[in-house]
Chain A
């Protein structure tokens, strides 16, 4: 089921939460809405769900206009940031809720509901928790139950608001890989909101980078990372150094920390710099250099081994040569 957004606007007073957004979500893809807080990504997701009404613009599901369809009839699955599980119901009843509230003539039989719920609980690998209550579950388990509950009504699209936001780092990583596998299995058109670029790049088929209510860039994870369309995208997707220079056209020049070579020997296009600080985090060593010219520190990332081989002491002089430069006319 594809989703088509055309000219969506949403204002809160003077604040433009979503500013004239057009977006096409392909049938069956897993799309990430990525942006800093206040960039309008959650508002956009809630507009797709029907939880917010856009001031103008239209939404179509698979070509059929859904702008005025009530959230109840929109047949979307929504996973809330804090899961919003019903605390007074068992896990089984939580998942069964969407089926039980159907009008009598569309409601499956009790046996069919039971089968469906147990199948879903097996899908999220938590069938053994059916009789527990939400407060007895861990964060990651609640997350998966929220997903099972959303899938129970066989939604046309699945929407997830910061699905991993409230989890600790390790569970987060496991869950996002699990979500990717689950999506490959069920193949429902899915949109998820995140402020974590790593999450967006790892999980999604395509990434939509948002800023100030507008879409900055849409593309595959490789595409937006390698070919950022604006300095904002470049800076938001990973760390970057702005070099204290300009190219022939007067454009600003940027280099990512891992795209700078460090040598003890001077060379062409190499900048002399003094090592101000170094820190090794796992396999990566992060170096901070002070350039002879300009007072902006330059951050460089080397593998632990490369740094050891280099044998550069703090305060030592090295030569930095960017292996890849990015140019942007708008010097932000």
Chain B
């Protein structure tokens, strides 16, 4: 009896433990999947379903319609300015924060996060207050016949403000963990500042940088709130894709609204795919550096 009990004990104990955790595990996975389904997959499928409900011709017509084309081009233009600008700013900010100590460093680090903590509507409003007709620079801009608010420059500014943390935030922790030994080694070996940057720094941060740029681009193309405040919603002139979707929807052109929205959804899917690839490459690249740091 005793031997039988003793024999079953070691096996029985982990079995009960595993059974409990299996139940918990199933519930947790189930909740997570249900959540994903309700909040992500169903809406995504719904967008494409609604977009194509009235047929392929209606879908294509909604996208090649002149106002839609103008919105697509404006969105691409804004991203083409805002993303490179934030790439340069992000690298510069990350470099100064990770490599140097200077007074106000912690303030700068906190300020970089500001666009994440402020409502995008407020971000847009700031530019209206500064550059609008009643704003600080309003009279001066008017005298010189320059338009910022309700024009393309305002949209670019608002987009840049909202998206500037992405690259910097991605790079700061990366550069801090990498340290500057390799850069010092390059300098001792006679490399100049640019040689060091192109040959040593950039190869070490390239995956993190690309990751930040992808997220920055996705947000730059998808931003609604801040852009909505400064845009003025002029069809064919200051409408970006998200704003165009809203206008179409408000005019009960549901098929057209969903057709344009499906472009943004596609952008999101492409972003996710790129993000996945880059993350894998970054992890593969991080293993060797992690080893050599030991």
A35 within 8 A of B: no
**Cα distance, A78 to B184, chains bound together (Å):** 9
**Segment with Cβ contacts to A, from B18-26, B165-173, B186-194, B222-230:** B186-194
Complex interface residues of chain B between 150 and 194 (CB less than 8 A to chain A): 181-182, 184-192
* Closest Cβ–Cβ distance, residue B247 to chain A (whole Å): 48
Query: Are B190 and A80 in contact, with the CB atoms below 8 A?
Result: no
The 0/1 profile, CB within 8 Å of A marked 1, for residues 187-208 of chain B is: 1111110010001100110000
Is A82 within 8 A of B181, CB to CB?
Answer: yes
In the complex, the answer to whether A71 meets B187 with C-beta atoms within 8 Å is: yes
Binds B, one of A84-92, A232-240, A305-313: A84-92
Question: Knowing A134-B288, A142-B292, A166-B294 touch, does A88 contact B187 (C-beta < 8 A)?
Answer: no
Query: Count the A-B residue pairs with Cβ separation under 8 angstroms: how many?
Result: 80
Give the interface centre of B199, B288, B292 by most chain A CB atoms within 10 Å: B292
For the complex, is B293 an interface residue (Cβ under 8 Å from A)? yes
* Complexed CA–CA distance, A77 and B190 (Å): 10
For chain B, give the interface size range.
Answer: 20 to 34
- Residues of chain B within 8 A of A134, CB atoms compared: 288, 292
Cross-chain contact A72 with B192 (CB below 8 angstroms): yes
B184 touches A80 (CB 8 A): yes
Q: Are B191 and A101 in contact (CB under 8 A)?
A: yes
A51–B285 Cα gap in the complex (Å)? 28
Q: Is the beta-carbon distance between A78 and B185 smaller than 8 angstroms?
A: yes
With both chains docked as a complex, state the minimum distance between the C-beta of A141 and any C-beta of chain B, in angstroms.
12
Query: Please, which residues of chain A bring their CB within 8 A of the CB of B203?
Result: 86, 88
Report chain A residues within 8 Å CB of B143: none
Contact flag A87-B289 (CB < 8 Å), given A101-B195, A101-B199: yes
Once A80-B181, A80-B184, A82-B293 are accepted as A-B contacts, the answer to whether A87 and B192 lie under 8 Å apart by CB is: no
Which residue of chain A has the shortest Cβ distance to B182 in the bound complex? A84
The answer, yes or no, to whether A76 is at the interface (CB within 8 Å) is yes
A87 with B292: in contact, given A80-B181, A80-B184, A101-B199 (CB under 8 Å)? yes
Query: Which of A50, A97, A134, A152 has the largest number of chain B CB atoms within 10 A?
Result: A97
CB contacts (< 8 Å) of B204 on chain A: these are: 87-88
Chain A nearest CB, measured from B84 CB (Å): 24
Q: Does B287 lie at the interface of the complex (its beta carbon under 8 Å from any beta carbon of A)?
A: yes
Contacts of B191 in A (CB 8 A): 72, 97, 101
| B190 and A102 form a contact (CB under 8 A) | yes
CA distance A55 to B189 in the complex (A): 24
Complex CA–CA separation, A86 to B186 (angstroms): 9
Given the contacts A80-B181, A87-B204, A135-B287, A97 and B186 also touching, CB distance less than 8 Å: yes
Contacting residues, chain A, for B293 (C-beta < 8 A): 82
A156 contacts B by Cβ under 8 Å:
no
| CB of B260, distance to nearest CB on chain A (Å) | 42
Asked whether B57 is an interface residue with its Cβ less than 8 Å from the other chain, the reply is: no
- A177-205 to B contact mask, C-beta < 8 Å, 1/0: 00000000000000000000000000000
A228 vs B256: C-alpha distance when bound (angstroms)? 90
Q: Any chain B CB within 8 A of the CB of A98?
A: yes
Q: Does B251 contact A (CB under 8 A)?
A: no
- Is B65 an interface position by the 8 A CB rule? no
B59 to chain A, nearest CB (A): 45
Q: Mark A38-81, 1 if CB is under 8 A from B, else 0.
A: 00000000000111000000000000000000011110111010
Residues of A within 8 A of B182 (CB): 84-87
The smallest C-beta distance from A91 to any residue of chain B, in angstroms, reads 12
B145 CB-CB contact with A under 8 Å: no
Which residues from 129 to 159 on chain A have a C-beta closer than 8 Å to any C-beta of chain B?
133-135, 142, 149-150, 152-153
Can you name 19 A-B pairs with beta carbons within 8 Å?
A51-B184, A71-B187, A77-B188, A80-B181, A82-B292, A82-B293, A84-B182, A85-B292, A86-B185, A86-B186, A86-B199, A87-B182, A88-B204, A88-B285, A97-B191, A101-B190, A101-B191, A133-B288, A135-B288
Interface residues, chain B, CB within 8 Å of chain A?
181-182, 184-192, 195, 199-200, 203-204, 285, 287-289, 291-294
